[in-house]
A and B are shown apart, each in its own frame.
Chain A
Amino acid sequence: MPNYPILALTGGLARFASRFFRDGFRPRYEVGEWLYQCYVVGYQSLPLVGVTGFIMGIVLTLQSRPTMAQFGAESWIPAMVGLTIIREMGPIITALIFAGKIGSSIGAELGSMRVTEQIDAMEVSGTNPFKYLVVTRVLATTLMLPMLTLLADAIALYASYIGLNMRGVTTLALFVNNILGRLTFGDALPAFVKTFFFGFAVGLIGCYKGYYADKGTEGVGQAANSAVVVSSLVIFILDLVAVQITGLLGLN
């Protein structure tokens, strides 16, 4: 059987995910560790994600203004920027930043625990390392990325409002009404739902890469690196799948 790394990775990830679902919903639950991971993964990522969202909103607004002004459609900038941020840019940019920050840290942390044999020690001491380390982290990323995306969207829209007011005058009420006039549930809900899958992918891939790290300290760096690369790729693939599914559901 020829050695296809991509197939091996896919199979390994699938087995890892099935183990997560099998072990994750059985007691005992590591609630304290899960909450701490949520704090680290969600709250401590907020500044980075917030700054990214702010810049994304203001840049999109300022960049689109000249083109829209050429068409005499400056009043459409809020609707256009709002739809862009809520439907696509908010989820995907936040997920990529999240993968860069959290995926790498999870991969490095678990990888160093693996190479320093802390995980083996946990198994010996009677603690289920998979439950304690993997399930808590994957659950934390799955639930925190949607929160981060929502806040990033809000910050980006506010930044867009500021960007509009840098070159003209728009009231907040008009801005909100302009966006809401174009926004539908079909825009907001699929974008929200797909962020759960993005977060799940980031946590699962980071944990997988760290959990099965080898070759000493070199392996830790490799685990962190490949966790970011693979999870970013998977995020784009999931985005493609999501857009197809929402299209099939008639929500596009």
Chain B
Amino acid sequence: MSQRTAAHHVRLGLFVLAGLACLVITLFLLGRQQNLFSRSMTLEADFRNVSGLLAGNNVRLGGIPVGTVRRIQIINDSTIRVTMNLNRDVQPYVRRSTVATIGTDGLVGNTIINLEARPGAAPAVQPGDRLATSAPVGIDEMLSTLNVSNKNLIGITQDLRQITQKLNGSDALWQLLDDEQLATDARRSLSSIAGATARLDAAARDVEQLTSGVRQGRGVAGYLLTDTTFAGRLGHATRQLAGTSDTLAATLTGLKRQVQTQKGPLNTLLADTAFSRQLRQSMRHVEQGTAGFSRSMEALQHNVLVRGYLRRQQKKQARAALSPRPAARP
């Protein structure tokens, strides 16, 4: 009996141990999942809207669960403070610049907090730090934006409708579109434009030939522009001209000096007032002399000695005056 009882006790002990082991393992795994046994640190984040977040929801860093939500408090009407328990092991990887956002696990899963790293260096967080947050794109905001877009679309389509109505009602436009003659005219204009451009092209080619000829030294302009001996001659002529003008300048300088000399004849002629008075007196004397001479000559005409000669002279003059008329008559 006692041996049987001992065997019973061993089996019973194994049975109970197995059952308790299942319980303990399950509870331990659950506890480890919720960071009950690892060293943890708390972080805070202020949100405007936590979209149904509950205490115990997961906190993820780069998609990996690193902690849980510990407490959710209402600070004021627009601030919800979420306290998170994070595993100590991830402390070096959570930077001060990390941004916390509210997200969902899958399309219809639990609400979670995502910690997203931002570029740039920042020190690691310390327990009790408050992280920055950013509001996710909410469906409500998307819908309100879409509402504005829809209103704009209505305006645009209304305008388009008015435009098409006006276009439909416009006779001129339709005549323009229906007119086949117009197309023919347009085609002809285009062909004449093509001809004009062809001629323009030929003219341009001529100009090109001319310029190339000039460049090669053919023709007058080319000779002028390219002949080096001509240029040398031109330089020689210019130098001669310069010498001539130098000589002229020297002559003029000499002349000027002579004029300015006080005793010189030219200066006397031009500047001496006494000389000009004497000259005027002399001229008056000459005048009186010529008047006396004129009287003397008239007296001479009445002289007997020369009267016959003068009469012959008068007759000869009269005949010369009559004769050109019969000569011109035939």
Chain A residues close to B by CB (< 8 Å): 32, 35-36, 38-39, 42-43, 46, 146-148, 150-151, 153-154, 176, 180-181, 183-185, 188-189, 192
B contact residues around A150 at 8 Å (CB): 19-20, 22-23
Known pairs A150-B20, A153-B22, A188-B30; list 7 more (Cβ under 8 Å): A39-B12, A46-B15, A146-B19, A147-B16, A147-B20, A183-B30, A185-B34
Q: Considering only CB atoms and an 8 Å cut-off, how many residues of chain B contact the other chain?
A: 20
A contact residues around B189 at 8 Å (CB): none
A contact residues around B20 at 8 Å (CB): 147, 150
Contact A192 B11 (CB under 8 A): no
Contact B26 A188 (CB under 8 A): yes
Within the assembled complex, what's the spacing in Å between the Cα atoms of A183 and B19?
A: 19
28 contacts between A and B (CB under 8 A): A35-B5, A35-B8, A35-B9, A35-B12, A36-B8, A38-B12, A39-B8, A42-B12, A43-B8, A43-B11, A43-B12, A43-B15, A147-B15, A148-B19, A150-B22, A150-B23, A151-B18, A153-B22, A154-B22, A176-B29, A180-B29, A180-B30, A183-B26, A183-B30, A184-B30, A184-B56, A185-B27, A185-B31
Q: How far is the CB of B25 from the nearest CB of chain A, in Å?
A: 9
Within the assembled complex, what's the spacing in Å between the Cα atoms of A165 and B324?
A: 158
Within the assembled complex, what's the spacing in Å between the Cα atoms of A153 and B22?
A: 9
B contact residues around A176 at 8 Å (CB): 29
Which of A36, A38, A180 interacts with B33 by CB under 8 Å?
A180
Within the assembled complex, what's the spacing in Å between the Cα atoms of A151 and B15?
A: 9
Within the assembled complex, what's the spacing in Å between the Cα atoms of A184 and B5?
A: 40
The 3 lowest CB-CB distance pairs between A and B, nearest first, are A147-B19, A39-B8, A150-B22
Q: How far is the CB of B8 from the nearest CB of chain A, in Å?
A: 4
B contact residues around A147 at 8 Å (CB): 15-16, 18-20
Within the assembled complex, what's the spacing in Å between the Cα atoms of A80 and B18?
A: 25
Contact A192 B23 (CB under 8 A): yes
Q: Which residues of B from 286 to 313 have beta carbons under 8 Å from A?
A: none
Within the assembled complex, what's the spacing in Å between the Cα atoms of A184 and B22?
A: 15
Q: Which residues of B from 52 to 107 have beta carbons under 8 Å from A?
A: 56
Within the assembled complex, what's the spacing in Å between the Cα atoms of A192 and B30?
A: 14
Within the assembled complex, what's the spacing in Å between the Cα atoms of A108 and B246?
A: 160
Contact B15 A42 (CB under 8 A): yes
B contact residues around A151 at 8 Å (CB): 15, 18-19, 22
Nearest CB in chain B to that of A181: its residue: B33
Nearest CB in chain B to that of A186: its residue: B56
Q: How far is the CB of B15 from the nearest CB of chain A, in Å?
A: 5
Within the assembled complex, what's the spacing in Å between the Cα atoms of A43 and B33?
A: 32
Within the assembled complex, what's the spacing in Å between the Cα atoms of A150 and B22?
A: 6
Within the assembled complex, what's the spacing in Å between the Cα atoms of A46 and B12?
A: 11
A contact residues around B27 at 8 Å (CB): 185, 188-189
Nearest CB in chain B to that of A183: its residue: B30
Within the assembled complex, what's the spacing in Å between the Cα atoms of A127 and B9?
A: 24
Q: How far is the CB of A31 from the nearest CB of chain B, in Å?
A: 11
Q: How far is the CB of B150 from the nearest CB of chain A, in Å?
A: 33
Within the assembled complex, what's the spacing in Å between the Cα atoms of A176 and B22?
A: 13
Within the assembled complex, what's the spacing in Å between the Cα atoms of A151 and B19?
A: 5
A contact residues around B11 at 8 Å (CB): 39, 43
Nearest CB in chain A to that of B105: its residue: A181
Q: How far is the CB of A250 from the nearest CB of chain B, in Å?
A: 10
B contact residues around A32 at 8 Å (CB): 5
Asked, given contacts A43-B11, A188-B30, whether A36 binds B5 with beta carbons under 8 Å apart, the answer is yes
Within the assembled complex, what's the spacing in Å between the Cα atoms of A188 and B28?
A: 12
Within the assembled complex, what's the spacing in Å between the Cα atoms of A185 and B19?
A: 18
Within the assembled complex, what's the spacing in Å between the Cα atoms of A189 and B20?
A: 13
Nearest CB in chain A to that of B31: its residue: A185
A contact residues around B9 at 8 Å (CB): 35, 39
Nearest CB in chain A to that of B9: its residue: A35
Nearest CB in chain B to that of A40: its residue: B8
Within the assembled complex, what's the spacing in Å between the Cα atoms of A185 and B56?
A: 11
Q: How far is the CB of B65 from the nearest CB of chain A, in Å?
A: 9
Within the assembled complex, what's the spacing in Å between the Cα atoms of A146 and B29?
A: 19
B contact residues around A183 at 8 Å (CB): 26, 30
Nearest CB in chain B to that of A189: its residue: B27
Q: How far is the CB of B83 from the nearest CB of chain A, in Å?
A: 19
Within the assembled complex, what's the spacing in Å between the Cα atoms of A232 and B198?
A: 110
A contact residues around B12 at 8 Å (CB): 35, 38-39, 42-43
Within the assembled complex, what's the spacing in Å between the Cα atoms of A46 and B16?
A: 11
Within the assembled complex, what's the spacing in Å between the Cα atoms of A153 and B34?
A: 22
Within the assembled complex, what's the spacing in Å between the Cα atoms of A240 and B27?
A: 24
Nearest CB in chain A to that of B36: its residue: A185
Within the assembled complex, what's the spacing in Å between the Cα atoms of A184 and B19?
A: 19
